Amino acid sequence: MERWISRVAVVTGASSGIGAAIVKDLAKAGMVAVGLARRVELIEQLRKDVPEDAAKRLHAIKCDVSNQDDIDAAFKQVEDQFGGCDVLVNNAGIVRTVPLLDVNNSADIKSVLATNVTGLVLCSQRAYQSMVKRSVDGHIIHISSIVGHMVPNHPNLNVYPASKHAVKAITETMRHEMRDAGKKIKVTSISPGGVRTEILQGVGLPADMPLLDPHDISEAVLYTLGTPPRVQVHEIIIKPAGERI
């Protein structure tokens, strides 16, 4: 992680769960960690959970990644205040738990796709443009899901698996485009199994289902960023021991 010290990392969905763990650990690792979220006050409270020197490097910007104007404003603030984005962790994601064939309000479907797919692409575009503008060999990391590789027989996931399958395809598309453009910017997808976070509330998982801790995913982000420039980590799948999915 030495080469990333004092560089700027942007983490979406940083107010809780996986995003909160990542933004805290990046700040503790020496990066300027900028958390984006709608509940910006929760990110600001995270400073209490890290050492004083890391707290000074942890910053919060209000942003709803389903809103393009919010994304544009957030990345402009990152550029104006910190110089630009060197690392992006696309973590923001939502799920709607109405069975897909029972959906009466298309807004539920649109909101998932706007956050999990469109928002991810737009944030990646803004980060990529910032990296290219400053000739930075940066890194874009997508926090996906095991359901981006298969679809479990579970009625309450709606278009969430479809959105994560899209992330897998988007990651490969970005990798091809970056390579063909002659850029050394990396892109990685990390796909966790079940993680103990707010997003699982209401999904109706078995009570005895083994779950990961958010810091398990954060450690994977640190590992990925810590690889040398010659190493391209395409995909990491992390499952809790004993998971049946």
Active-site hit among 4, 75, 128, 160: 160
160 is catalytic: yes
Residue 96, phi then psi, degrees to nearest 5:
-115, 135
- Dihedral pair phi/psi, residue 142, rounded to 5°: -105, 125
Determine the straight-line distance between the first and last CA of the chain, rounded to whole angstroms: 33
Least Cα distance to 83 among 21, 31, 140 occurs for: 31
Quick check: 50 and 230 in contact, CB under 8 A?
Answer: no
Q: What strands, in cross-sheet order, belong to the sheet with 235-238? A: 58-62, 32-37, 8-12, 87-90, 139-143, 186-192, 235-238
Active-site residues, by number, are 160
